[in-house]
């Protein structure tokens, strides 16, 4: 393709500096290394780039051979949204599980350990945590990714998470500003609209972001959502009123502002990624996430040239682009220092997660274990699980049949990532078998497949899927001794001989549920 600039001039280097592109492959392609040499200051990693921790460490070392202060970003929330463990499931529960425990030391310790593992792999910017208040129970994109539906709980855990992550030398990126919780539309596919007044926004959505700013979050990610009370014409990512007027001036945030992925349909399907990138930088964004779906050199060059041309045409102030690039480089310098400090033990020491208190009655937390370290994710998952048992319940001693009711996943959750509890339960009850059932399946298919074996029914956001609730109703009517495991947001009533709400579908959440079923 023909380009309009050379790779050496300041304007071009600034345009490259504000991009955070992805790429294809488990080693860096030549084109990416060339562009890093020309000024690209950030790279994003996705599940397609990851095989193992040593491989990621080798990849990041290869990238940093071109530029030692390179920002290497990843979307590693833990829980349902994992990239480092995309093929196995996460060793850490997600935000909803941490919110369910509501122990700030535990949240801080989980984030610290997650950050430590990322830092070992050479990752120094994490597009996490989600600070969204999941106020709409029908939300298809946030759900278990939020700490909960209570504003103050979300705020305090957002701050604790940031403190833990950044103590490990990894910059946090608090998202999705100014709040993606009160919507039933996924911005990957369309433009969500939140019709609430300013008082509600300040009282609910903005409180966790204020907490994040106070906690020193090094970056904030904008959302592709339309909030008419703030700007009736442009979504947050493209709105000067929201990014500059609200976030910078009113809330006093001085760190890096990162856009959510510009190839999402809320941007790509409306103004297009080139125009959207120019408008985002002009509005106050400093970096553009791109490459979850578009991961090639042509995309990088198109966006670079669109920014350069916008400056030359007077549509984008050169000073605004220079300021954005300077903020990216400043964060890269912080990450470089923080990595060195964390390696020498100069960062804040992690706290001890106190044991959970077992409640009175049938519903309790399970596995109330103290301590921090490599197994802190499992510790947290055990404490987050909520178990409701019938009076006649006894742990299973023989292998059951695990029926997993699988909804269509939102795009933030990789289709490669396994979930449910079958594999974990098979380790404890050898001979455990199972199957997956979708919208066209019902109780009859489960009963036929299970035969005489006890059934463990695994659901995910039952309250959002009428077909799933109907299948579970029929299954429980036929087999009241069925065990029910809810691995999404637990809004439906607890039912079954044993009901376990794991508050997420991470691998460790499945392990916690399996232990409860087997009485381990």
The SS3 of residue 199 is helix
Q: Helix or strand or coil: residue 219?
A: strand
Residue 304 and residue 273 in contact, taking contact as beta carbons nearer than 8 Å: no
Q: DSSP E strands: which ranges in 209-255?
A: 219-222
> From CA 509, how far away is CA 423, in angstroms rounded?
12
Q: Which residues contact 16 (CB under 8 A, 6 or more apart)?
A: 35, 38, 39, 40, 41, 300, 304
Please give the angle made by the CA atoms of 268, 274 and 277, to the nearest 5 degrees. 90
Of 42, 159, 41, the C-alpha closest to 98 is: 159
Q: Cis peptide leading into 492, omega within 30 of 0? A: no
Residue 260 appears among annotated catalytic residues = yes
Tokens at 125, concatenated:
């910017």
What end-to-end distance do the CA atoms of the chain give, in Å?
61
Spatial distance between the Cα atoms of 509 and 269, rounded to a whole number of angstroms: 36
Q: Do 395 and 519 touch, CB atoms closer than 8 A?
A: yes
Query: Among 103, 132, 231, 260, which one carries the catalytic annotation?
Result: 260
Find all residues with CB under 8 Å of 373, minimum gap 6, and list them: 113
Catalytically annotated residue among 176, 188, 499, 503: 188
CA–CA gap between residue 24 and residue 49 (Å, rounded):
7
Token pair for residue 93?
């529960």
**C-alpha closest to that of 159 among 178, 170, 174:** 174
Q: Is 14 a catalytic residue?
A: no
Tell me how long the chain is: 520
498, 457 contact by CB (below 8 A): no
Q: What are phi and psi of 53, to 5 degrees?
A: -60, -45
How many whole angstroms separate alpha carbon 48 and alpha carbon 26? 7
Q: Tell me the sheet residues that pair with 388.
A: 499
The set of catalytic residues is 188, 260
């Amino acid at each position: 393709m023909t380009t309009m600039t050379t790779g050496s001039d300041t304007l071009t280097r600034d345009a490259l500096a504000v991009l955070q592109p992805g790429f294809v492959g488990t080693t860096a392609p030549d084109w990416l290394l060339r562009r890093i040499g020309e000024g690209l200051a950030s790279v994003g990693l996705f599940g397609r780039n990851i095989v193992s921790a040593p491989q990621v460490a080798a990849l990041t070392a290869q990238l940093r051979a071109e530029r030692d202060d390179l920002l290497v970003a990843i979307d590693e929330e833990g829980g349902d949204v994992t990239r480092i463990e995309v093929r196995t499931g996460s060793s850490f529960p997600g935000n909803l599980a941490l919110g369910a425990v509501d122990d700030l030391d535990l949240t801080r310790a989980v984030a610290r350990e997650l950050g430590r593992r990322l830092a070992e792999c050479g990752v120094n910017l994490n597009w996490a945590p989600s600070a969204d208040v999941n106020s709409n129970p029908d939300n298809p994109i946030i759900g278990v990714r939020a700490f909960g539906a209570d504003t103050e709980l979300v705020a305090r855990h957002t701050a604790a998470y940031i403190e833990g992550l950044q103590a490990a030398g990894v910059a946090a990126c608090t998202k999705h500003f100014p709040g993606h919780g009160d919507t039933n539309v996924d911005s990957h596919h369309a433009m969500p609209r939140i019709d609430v007044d300013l008082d509600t926004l300040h009282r609910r959505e903005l409180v966790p972001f204020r907490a994040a700013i106070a906690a020193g979050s090094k970056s904030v990610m904008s959302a592709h959502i339309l909030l008419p009370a703030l700007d009736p014409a442009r979504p947050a990512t493209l709105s000067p009123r929201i990014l500059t007027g609200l976030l910078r001036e009113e809330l006093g945030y001085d760190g890096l502002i990162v856009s959510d992925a510009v190839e999402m349909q809320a941007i790509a399907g409306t103004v297009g990624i080139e125009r959207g990138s120019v408008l985002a930088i002009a509005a106050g964004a400093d970096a553009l996430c791109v490459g979850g779906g578009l991961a090639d050199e042509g995309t990088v060059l198109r966006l670079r040239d669109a920014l350069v041309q916008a400056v030359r045409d007077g549509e984008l102030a050169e000073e605004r682009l220079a300021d954005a690039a300077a903020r990216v480089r400043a964060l890269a310098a912080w990450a470089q220092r923080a990595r060195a400090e964390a390696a020498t033990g100069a960062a804040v020491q992690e706290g001890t997660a106190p044991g959970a208190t077992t409640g009175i009655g049938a519903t309790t937390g399970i596995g109330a274990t103290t301590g921090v370290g490599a197994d802190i994710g499992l510790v947290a998952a055990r404490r987050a699980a909520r178990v409701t048992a019938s009076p006649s319940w006894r742990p299973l001693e023989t292998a059951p049949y695990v029926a997993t009711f699988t909804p269509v996943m939102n795009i933030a959750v990789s289709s490669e990532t396994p979930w449910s509890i079958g594999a974990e339960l098979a380790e404890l009850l050898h001979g455990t078998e199972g199957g997956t059932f979708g919208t066209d399946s019902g109780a009859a298919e489960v009963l036929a497949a299970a035969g005489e074996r006890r059934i463990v029914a695994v659901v995910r956001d039952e309250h959002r899927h009428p077909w799933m609730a109907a299948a579970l109703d029929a299954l429980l009517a036929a087999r009241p001794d069925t065990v029910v495991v809810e691995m999404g947001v637990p809004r439906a009533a607890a039912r079954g001989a044993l009901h376990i709400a794991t508050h997420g579908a991470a691998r460790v959440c499945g392990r916690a549920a399996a232990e409860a079923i087997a009485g381990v």
